[in-house]
Amino acid sequence: MSLRSLARLVPRNVSRLSAPVAQRPLTALCQSGRFQQPWRIASRPSYAAFSTSRIAWAQEGEVDQELSAKFESELQLEQDMSDSDELPPNIKDFVENSPFQLHDTPGQEEVVLTRTFGDEKIRITFTTADLNALDQDADPYGEDKALMDEDGGDLSDDGQSGGAQSKGTINQGRSKGGNFNVAPEDSVAPADRPELEDDESPASDEDQEPSFPARVNITIEKPGAKGAIQVESIAQDGMIMIENVYYFPKAELADAKTAEQDWARRLMYTGPPYGNLDQDLQILLERYLDERGINTALALWVPEYIDFKEQREYLNWLSEMKSFVDA
């Protein structure tokens, strides 16, 4: 090839190489293989790398079967301890023979009794929450006993405390510490000691553990614009103990169901503290309730029915919880 031919070819090749580059847009360059990978890497968002295990996304947890089995065992245990789902005889007898009608909705804590007395409408309510709120393990004398042990609980050499002497000790002798020494004859059973026959008698029904206090709210309405009275009381050990007596000129205020009614109720003067009333007036109010069937029979029945209902609701709760876990 001559030098002239070479000189002609060089400008053509240079122009051929430079022309496409100058004419191609920037997007074409970005789509080329040389720029595509770095561009995508630079525009790719960065996220923290999390590791998801199979257990976290499993359809059934590991504890489900164990929890369901525990609910089943508790349910079976409670059913074995319960006699039946039917009302006990003493509760059933009151329901069948009393003038009150029982309204008990399963799954709800509140129980309602209703009746009419002349032109009056009487409504009695109580709840199982009183039983659930009790602390069965609480010892009201625990602190007093501890203080007694700190102040004067030291025992003498014979192991007999001075405060442990009882009536009718046979042989006694004062020790150096001021306590009494009790002779072996004092270990005779009280029933075999004639001097204690009058004091030591077999335990009767009155000596049994007292029932728990159950709050009983009583509402008595009269037709027309005569209003209503509401009595807050406690049913325990066969007694209805009145705590407060309120009067409302409008019957709907006795059972306020709206915020406006509740506010109007709070602003009203509904009566003095019950304990400030004259003693004769208190007695007459108790007789007033007794005539309407709010008496000893009701006071004995309410705690028993609360205990029965709470057990039945607990069994239902166990069953529903097991069904939910198994679903």
pLDDT per residue as tens digits for the range 183-214: 554 445 545 555 544 444 444 545 555 678 99
Most confident residue range from 42-51, 116-125, 200-209, 263-272 = 116-125
The answer on pLDDT for 268 being more than 60 is yes
Record the pTM: 0.61
Tell me the two tokens of residue 12: 């053509």
The answer on pLDDT for 320 being more than 90 is yes
> How confident is the model at residue 202, as a pLDDT?
45
- Average pLDDT, rounded, for the chain: 74
Tell me the two tokens of residue 223: 């037709």
Place of tokens 């007033």: 288
Averaged pLDDT for residues 60-86: 85
The rounded distance, in Å, linking the Cα atoms of 84 and 222 is 40
Most confident residue range from 14-23, 262-271, 282-291 = 282-291
CB 130 within 8 Å of CB 109: no
Tell me the two tokens of residue 95: 């329901």
The rounded distance, in Å, linking the Cα atoms of 259 and 249 is 18
Name the 3-class secondary structure at 320. helix
> How confident is the model at residue 53, as a pLDDT?
55
Name the 3-class secondary structure at 211. coil
Helix (H) / strand (E) containing 12: helix 3-23
